[in-house]
Amino acid sequence: MTNIAYVNGDYQKIENAKVSIMDRGLLFADGVYEVAGVYKGVIIDNESHILRLQRSLNEIKLTLPIQLDELLLVQKKLIEINKLKEGTLYFHVTRGIGQTREFEFPEGPSPSLIMFVHHKQIMDLPIDRLNAKIMTLPDLRWKRRDIKSIALLPQVLAKQVAHENNCNEVWMYEDGFITEGGSSNAFIIKDNKLISRKNNEKILSGTTRQAVLKLLELEGLIFDERPFTIEEAYNADEAFFTSASVFVMPVISIDDRAINDGMPGKLTLKLRNLYENFAKSSIKKGK
């Protein structure tokens, strides 16, 4: 299967793609990133990803190394070169290559842009793959989680612990309240009411989360935008998490406590179906 990456203007086989050891993304995790779903060769809700990328760049005083219209062309070309029909597109921007390892922003270097794809099924998953198990762990991240930073060591360590305990995702907590998942936004459902905390510096404003909230409004469903406790999660009628790569993923257990008798919830599955329909319609507009 073709696997070509984009690195600062060059298209290379991914095993040959390289960055300088002085790149600030490597030395300081000084950069931001996005992951977008791709279906039928088209990026799902790309406008939301671009807007969030631009916001993250602004927050860390960084700019794209190329014009926005050129970035869109690179995305399209990389998808075409890799013959990507379904999967994800990853792209990140770092502050570029400095002459020395100094913390202060270097003068002169152009930011680095890296992009690659991953072939995987994301749409129309069979029901036996819609059954995530969650583990809760303390949230050890920095205080600006609204920035989609490439500094992901706390999530890496937490998700590894979850993996070692046969769980698919970690939900992190702070002061007894769930913040979000290691790479997702967290939701619970109680008495037909959806609960998830408000967008602020404590969580990332997920593109899938935002789309789901709009769908809730269109369907007339009740959304209670507030933090929820670990205990509330244990006692939820249903639970799920959202991300660009898994859409709406039903949760069947949290810390080995069954949710909805260990089965995907009906309302969660309805939301997943609504989101898949939204994604399919968005790619028609994006072609």
Active site residues: 148
CB neighbour list of residue 107: distance below 8 Å, 6 or more residues apart: none
| Token pair 């995530």 in the structure block, residue | 132
